[in-house]
C-alpha cells in the first residue's frame, strides 16, 4: 500500500461520484452527457461527444460494425471535475440489443440518472434498466427532458413513474408549461423561478433566478395562467406528498425529480449540483468476507467490462476495473482469487471515450483500465493482501439462442478459443446442453445484434468463418431447484435444461405459453430472470 494518510484517503473517496445515465434511446442521453462534460470543462464545444465517437469508429475495425449499423456498442467512462467533486460518468450503449453491457456497467455505478422524454414518459428500455438499478438498490435521480417541446402533463408523468416503475417521486422542481409556452422551472426549495430564456445549445449560461415573491418581475415574464397552473400543481404536491427523505433516496426507495431541456442547457446545472450534493460517495461493497470499506488501506476492485481492440494496431484487451477500496498505484501486487494467481499491476489508465491517459494514482470509486493478457473474466476480483471475492456481476435472462456451425472442421479449436474469450468479455453467454457435445455449446444473448458482433469478431479476430443456427427458445430462467425436482419437472413438461459456465441450471422455454404452462404445473420450482438472486 503506497503511503497515503487516512485524511487524504477519506477526502479523495468522499469527493468521488460514480454514476450512469439510463434511458430509452432518443430520450437525450448523449445530449445530457455532453452538457455535463461541458459543465465539468472536460469538453469545450457541444457536438464533441458525437464527433469523437464517429471519428473513432473509423479507426477501430470491429467497431466498423457499429458504424455500419449506426449504433454504439462500446461502453466507456468519462471523468470530469465539478467544483470539488470528481465525477466518473459511466457511458452505456444506446441500442437496446446491448443492454447486457449496460446491466454490467450498472454494477460499477453508485447512483443512476434516469432520463425521461417529457412527451413519451416511461418507455420499455427505461423499465428494464430501472429494474436492474432496483435490484442493486442504488439511488436514482430522475431528469424529465425536452420541456422545450410539447410535453405531457407533469402530474400525469409523476403518476406514470410511480405506477409503472413502482418508485415514489419527489419533484425538486416543477415546470411552467412546455413547448412554445415553456417559461422555466420553479425550484421548490428556494421558491424561485429559473427562467427559460431560449435555446442556447452550445455554451452554458446561468439561468436567471427570480424569487416567486418578486411578483412584479415574475408577471412581466410569465403569463398569469401558466404561472397559476404550475402553482396549483405545486400546491397539490405539497398537500398530497410526503417530505423528502434523503435516507429513502439513498436506499433507492424515492426518486428526486428535476425538469429541464438538456439540448438548450436548461436545468442541467441545477440538476448536476443537487445530484452531486445528494448522491452517495463510494460505499462498502459485499464480498465473500463481508463488506469491504472504501477507506480500507488495502487496494481492491472488480472487473465489470472487458473491451478488446481498443487500439486495433495492438489487438489489446482492456479490462475495466471499478476500485472498491484503497489506493491503486503502479507496482501494486494483487491476487485474482478465481485463478489463485498473483499479478503486479502497471500504471492505471484512464479512458475518455476512446482516448487514454496514464494516472499516478486512483481511489475507490474510480474506474480504470488495465491491460488484460487474456485471462480476466467479467466479475473477477483483484485484491491486495487478501483473498476474497466481491459479489458477482449478474447475468440476465437471454431471449435469443443459437448453436454455431463452422464451415471448416479444422478451425474447431480456434473457434472454441474465440468463443471462450468472447464469453469472458460478455459478448454472449455460453450454456452447456448435456444432450449435446461439450464442443457444441448453446450461445445465448439478450439482444440479437450481440450474435452479429460475435460472428463479426470470430471472423476478424480469430479467422473463423461460421454461421449460427437459431434455436427456437424465447425465454431462459435460472433455477435453484434440486436435480430430483428438475428431473420431475422434465417428466411433466417438455422443458429443456442447460447449465451456465458456473454450473447453475437454467430452463429454456419455447414461448410465453410454455413458460406459463411450466409455472402452473411445477409451482414449487422458483424461476429467476437473473442469476444474482440464486
Ligand atoms: P440518446 O443518446 O438518448 O439516444 O439521445 P440523443 O442525445 O442523441 O438525443 C436524441 C434527439 O433528441 C436528438 O435529436 C437531440 O438533439 C434531441 N434532444 C435531446 N435533448 C433535447 C431537449 O432537451 N430538447 C429537444 N427539443 N431535443 C432534445 P436528433 O435530431 O435525433 O439529433 P441531432 O441531429 O440533434 O443530434
d(CA 64, ligand 1 centre) in Å = 23
d(CA 26, ligand 1 centre) in Å = 6
What is the pLDDT at residue 326? 94
pLDDT in tens, 392-446: 888 889 999 999 987 677 788 889 889 988 898 888 999 998 887 766 899 999 8
- Selection from 489, 338, 465 nearest residue 406 by Cα: 465
Could you tell me if 464 and 420 are in contact, meaning their C-beta atoms sit under 8 angstroms apart?
Answer: no
Residues of the chain with pLDDT under 50: 51-62, 69-73, 75
Instruction: Give the residue, out of 21, 263, 264, with the most ligand 1 atoms within 8 A of its beta carbon, to mutate for a pocket test.
Output: 263
| Closest residue to atom 34 of ligand 1, CA basis | 47
Q: Which ligand 1 atom is at minimum distance from the Cα of 260?
A: 23
What is the pLDDT at residue 91? 79
What is the pLDDT at residue 188? 95
Mean pLDDT value across the chain: 87
d(CA 22, ligand 1 centre) in Å = 15
What residue has cell string 473477477?
380
Would the annotation count 95 as a binding residue?
yes
Question: Using a 6 Å cutoff on CB, does residue 23 contact ligand 1?
Answer: yes
Would the annotation count 23 as a binding residue?
yes
3-state secondary structure of 79: strand
What is the pLDDT at residue 1? 53
Instruction: Give the residue, out of 23, 27, 31, with the most ligand 1 atoms within 8 A of its beta carbon, to mutate for a pocket test.
Output: 31
d(CA 502, ligand 1 centre) in Å = 41
Q: Which three cell numbers stand for residue 109?
A: 455505478
Instruction: Give the residue, out of 27, 28, 50, 92, with the most ligand 1 atoms within 8 A of its beta carbon, to mutate for a pocket test.
Output: 28
Question: Using a 6 Å cutoff on CB, does residue 47 contact ligand 1?
Answer: no
Number of residues assigned to the chain:
534
d(CA 218, ligand 1 centre) in Å = 30
Could you tell me if 330 and 370 are in contact, meaning their C-beta atoms sit under 8 angstroms apart?
Answer: no
What is the pLDDT at residue 68? 52
Q: Which three cell numbers stand for residue 81?
A: 471535475
Q: How far is the CA of 107 from the CAs of 129, 177, 392, in angstroms?
A: 12, 37, 9
**Cα separation of 283 and 17, whole Å?**
10
What is the pLDDT at residue 47? 56
To the question of pTM greater than 0.80 for the whole model, the response is yes
What is the pLDDT at residue 394? 83
Regarding beta strands 208-211 and 140-145, do their DSSP bridges make them parallel or antiparallel, or are they unpaired? unpaired
The strand pairing partners of 436, in sequence order, are none
d(CA 32, ligand 1 centre) in Å = 9
**Cα separation of 371 and 330, whole Å?**
12
What is the pLDDT at residue 40? 86
Q: Which three cell numbers stand for residue 183?
A: 417559461
Question: Using a 6 Å cutoff on CB, does residue 146 contact ligand 1?
Answer: yes
Question: Using a 6 Å cutoff on CB, does residue 30 contact ligand 1?
Answer: yes
d(CA 149, ligand 1 centre) in Å = 11
d(CA 166, ligand 1 centre) in Å = 27
Q: What percent of the chain has pLDDT over 70?
A: 88
Would the annotation count 394 as a binding residue?
no
Phi first, then psi: give them for residue 369, nearest 5 degrees: -100, 140
Q: Which residues contact 393 (CB under 8 A, 6 or more apart)?
A: 104, 107, 302, 304, 378, 379
CA atoms within 13 A on the CB side of 72: 23
CA atoms within 13 A on the CB side of 274: 24
3-state secondary structure 380-401: CEEECCCCCCECCCCCECCCEE
End-to-end CA distance of the chain: 35
H helices of 40-182, where?
Answer: 48-57, 64-69, 99-106, 124-136, 154-160
Q: What is the DSSP letter of 420?
A: H
Would the annotation count 94 as a binding residue?
yes
Amino acid at each position: 500500500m503506497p503511503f497515503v494518510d487516512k485524511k487524504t484517503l477519506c477526502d479523495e473517496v468522499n469527493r468521488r461520484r460514480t454514476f450512469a445515465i439510463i434511458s430509452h434511446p432518443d430520450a437525450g442521453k448523449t445530449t445530457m452527457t455532453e452538457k455535463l462534460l461541458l459543465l465539468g470543462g472536460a469538453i469545450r464545444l457541444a457536438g464533441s461527444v458525437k464527433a469523437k465517437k464517429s471519428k473513432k469508429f473509423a479507426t477501430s475495425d470491429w467497431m466498423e460494425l457499429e458504424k455500419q449499423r449506426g449504433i454504439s456498442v462500446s461502453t466507456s467512462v468519462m471523468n470530469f471535475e465539478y467544483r470539488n467533486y470528481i465525477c466518473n460518468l459511466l457511458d452505456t450503449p444506446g441500442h437496446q440489443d446491448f443492454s447486457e453491457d449496460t446491466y454490467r456497467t450498472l454494477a460499477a455505478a453508485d447512483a443512476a440518472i434516469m432520463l425521461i422524454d417529457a412527451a413519451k414518459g416511461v418507455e420499455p428500455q427505461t423499465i428494464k434498466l430501472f429494474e436492474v438499478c432496483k435490484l442493486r438498490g442504488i439511488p436514482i435521480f430522475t431528469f424529465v427532458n425536452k420541456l422545450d417541446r410539447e410535453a405531457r402533463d407533469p402530474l400525469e408523468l409523476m403518476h406514470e413513474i410511480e405506477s409503472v416503475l413502482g418508485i415514489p417521486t419527489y419533484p425538486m422542481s416543477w415546470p411552467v408549461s412546455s413547448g412554445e409556452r415553456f417559461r422555466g422551472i420553479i425550484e421548490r426549495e428556494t421558491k424561485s423561478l429559473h427562467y427559460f430564456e431560449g435555446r442556447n445549445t452550445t455554451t452554458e449560461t446561468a439561468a436567471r433566478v427570480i424569487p416567486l415573491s418578486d411578483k412584479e418581475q415574475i408577471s412581466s415574464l410569465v403569463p398569469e395562467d401558466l404561472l397559476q397552473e404550475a402553482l396549483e400543481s405545486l400546491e397539490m404536491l405539497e398537500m398530497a406528498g410526503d417530505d423528502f427523505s434523503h435516507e429513502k433516496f439513498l436506499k433507492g426507495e424515492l426518486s428526486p425529480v428535476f425538469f429541464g431541456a438538456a439540448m438548450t442547457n436548461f436545468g442541467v446545472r441545477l440538476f448536476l449540483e443537487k445530484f452531486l450534493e445528494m448522491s452517495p460517495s463510494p460505499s462498502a461493497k459485499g464480498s465473500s468476507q463481508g463488506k469491504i470499506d472504501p477507506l480500507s488501506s488495502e487496494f481492491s476492485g472488480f472487473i465489470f467490462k472487458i473491451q478488446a481492440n481498443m487500439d486495433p494496431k495492438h489487438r489489446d484487451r482492456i479490462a475495466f476495473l471499478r476500485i472498491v477500496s484503497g489506493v491503486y498505484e503502479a507496482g501494486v501486487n494483487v491476487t485474482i482469487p478465481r485463478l489463485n494467481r498473483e499479478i503486479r499491476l502497471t500504471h492505471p489508465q484512464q479512458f475518455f471515450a476512446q482516448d487514454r491517459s496514464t494516472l499516478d494514482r486512483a481511489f475507490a470509486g474510480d474506474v480504470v483500465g488495465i491491460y488484460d493478457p487474456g485471462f480476466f473474466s467479467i466479475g473477477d476480483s483483484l485484491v491486495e493482501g487478501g483473498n476474497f471475492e466481491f459479489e458477482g456481476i449478474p447475468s440476465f435472462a437471454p431471449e435469443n439462442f443459437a448453436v454455431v456451425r463452422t464451415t471448416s472442421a479444422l478451425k474447431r479449436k480456434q473457434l472454441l478459443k474465440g468463443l471462450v474469450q468472447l464469453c469472458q468479455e460478455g459478448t454472449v453467454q455460453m450454456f452447456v446442453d448435456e444432450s449435446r457435445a461439450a464442443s457444441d455449446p448453446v450461445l445465448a444473448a439478450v439482444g440479437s445484434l450481440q450474435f452479429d458482433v460475435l460472428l463479426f469478431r470470430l471472423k476478424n479476430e480469430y479467422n473463423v468463418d461460421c454461421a449460427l443456427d437459431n434455436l427456437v427458445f424465447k425465454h431462459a430462467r435460472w433455477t435453484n431447484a434440486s436435480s430430483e425436482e428438475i428431473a420431475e419437472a422434465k417428466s411433466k413438461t417438455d422443458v429443456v435444461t442447460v447449465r451456465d459456465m458456473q454450473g447453475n441450471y437454467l430452463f429454456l422455454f419455447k414461448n410465453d405459453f410454455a413458460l406459463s404452462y411450466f409455472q402452473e404445473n411445477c409451482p414449487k420450482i422458483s424461476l429467476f430472470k437473473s442469476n444474482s438472486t440464486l
